[in-house]
Amino acid sequence: MIVRIFNEGQYELPDEALEQLHDLDAATEAAIQANDATRFRQLYPRLLDHIRQSGTPLNAADLRASDLMLPPPDSSLSEVAKEFHGHHLLPFDHPAADRAPAV
Residue 43 CA to residue 56 CA, distance in Å, equals: 21
For residue range 25-70, list pLDDT tens digits in order. Answer: 889 989 998 999 999 999 999 999 999 999 999 998 998 899 888 9
pLDDT at 92: 47
The strand ranges marked E within 1-89 are: 2-5, 9-12, 56-57, 68-70
Quote the pTM value: 0.82
